[in-house]
Amino acid sequence: MSDRAAGPLPPIPLTILTGFLGAGKTTLLNRLVQDPALHDTVVIINEFGEIGLDHLLVETVSDDMILLSAGCLCCTVRGDLIATLEDLLRKRDNGRIGPFRRVIIETTGLADPAPILHAVLYHPYLSMRYAVEGVVTVIDAVNGKGTLDAHVEAVRQAAVAERIVLAKTDLVNDPADLARLRERLHQVNPGATLLDADAPIEAIVAGGLFGLDGKIADVRDWLKAEAVEEAEHRSHAHQHGDHDHHGHHHHDVNRHDASIHAFCLTSDQPIRQGALDTFLDFLRSSQGAKLLRVKGLVALAEDPEHPVVIHGVQHVIHVPAVLPRWPSEDRRSRIVFIVQDLAREPVEKLWNAFVGSPGIDQPDATALADNPLSLRR
Ligand SMILES: Nc1nc2c(ncn2[C@@H]2O[C@H](COP(=O)(O)OP(=O)(O)OP(=O)(O)O)[C@@H](O)[C@H]2O)c(=O)[nH]1
């Protein structure tokens, strides 16, 4: 199939591969770059040396780009990531490299994926040409617990992921340790798919908003609103002393884990475009730094048959796609928020004020619009 259909070029799916120092990112990448399924992929890494490519090298395209035997292009970050992504588009558009169909960015171990997502989504041109397919976070099955306990960065990396890949499961002696780590990761990020490092390539690089073919994939699976709602109910029941958990023993939640959580807001009624825009504007201006990710599927009153996809991070929230139809019978608008140090209540109040069900003791949308300071807590 040609890319040259009428209209704008389809965006290039971009996957962010992250994980703490030594988690197993490079080992996983090494497998990915050798797979023929990824022959039309560009992998952006920090240094060529790190993934031991010598035996796979076919051709040096430029001093920061090489072609590997399976057809995958590998490039190193020159200057900043934005410059590298722009440079790749230039080379692609003027035919100096092939029309690659997907990009995987490996971040350094301490990197927080939120600013990387922010940089790509915020850039007016890059956000048109690339579409963030998803974040993949590698967690070390042996040292994962200690790392999550000690470093809030590691918890953030897990919290914003679409897929969490557990590496080094072969080194775990006690299956109960692994089960506990899985359960903890599920609590930190109920919407993530948990995979082992030997999972199929497609599950690792294309389980998100876009499939391996670059087309919009299963939006419901990307959003995972049901999983987030279910986790919320469980945690709510737990907080209220409902210990009927089939004998599960609950440990104290680590303070890093406790600072980050996910929740889902829904609306049965289609939302007016203006109301949605104002809600999102208020939210990002008052709470932007705390929004690690915002993902949603929304019915607009103006065109309820074609749901819009919402994708955001920190102060940027944009609409990467309008779907031709609803992915399931469920036509509620659903927005999943992954936040740090932000409670559900202020966001929900704002949502109710704009989206239509203001409570007796809540200001309505006009009152909020007249007094934006009232939103700041
Ligand atoms: N047994 C086993 N070892 C693994 C696995 N994944 C990674 N390793 C080893 O763990 C060490 C660290 O793995 P890397 O892939 O270099 O980790 P990384 O996340 O890229 O590390 P940095 O680039 O330093 O952040 C290496 O010695 C790997 O061989 C695995 O699934 N099983």
DSSP for 52-104? T-GGGEEEEEETTEEEETTS-EEEE--SSHHHHHHHHHHHHHTTSS----EEE
Q: Which of 18, 26, 27, when mutated, tests ligand 1's pocket best, judged by the most ligand atoms within 8 Å of its CB?
A: 27
Domains and CATH numbers, the chain: 12-216 (3.40.50.300), 225-375 (3.30.1220.10)
pLDDT number for residue 372: 47
167 CA to middle of ligand 1, Å?
Answer: 8
Phi/psi of residue 21, nearest 5 degrees:
-50, 125
Q: Write out pLDDT tens, residues 163-213.
A: 999 999 999 999 999 999 999 999 999 999 999 999 999 889 887 777 767
Q: Which of 18, 26, 140, when mutated, tests ligand 1's pocket best, judged by the most ligand atoms within 8 Å of its CB?
A: 26
Q: Element (H or E) spanning 271, and its range?
A: none
Closest CA to 281 of 360, 353, 182: 353
19 lines ligand 1 (CB under 6 A): yes
Averaged over 4-11, what is the pLDDT?
Answer: 65
- ipTM, interface predicted TM-score of the complex: 0.96
Is residue 265 classed as helix, strand or coil in its secondary structure? strand
Closest CA to 113 of 35, 242, 15: 15
Averaged over 276-294, what is the pLDDT?
Answer: 92
Which strand ranges, in their side-by-side order, compose the sheet holding 163-167? Answer: 57-62, 65-68, 73-76, 41-45, 102-106, 12-19, 130-140, 163-167, 193-196
pLDDT number for residue 18: 94
Q: How far is CA 158 from CA 191, 224, 258, 273, in A?
A: 11, 15, 13, 32
Residue type, 6: A
26 CA to middle of ligand 1, Å?
Answer: 6
Task: Record the tokens describing residue 56, joined without a space.
Answer: 């796979």
Phi/psi of residue 339, nearest 5 degrees:
-130, 160
Q: Per-residue pLDDT for 161 more than 70? A: yes
Closest CA to 317 of 340, 336, 341, 344: 336
254 or 279, which is more confident: 279
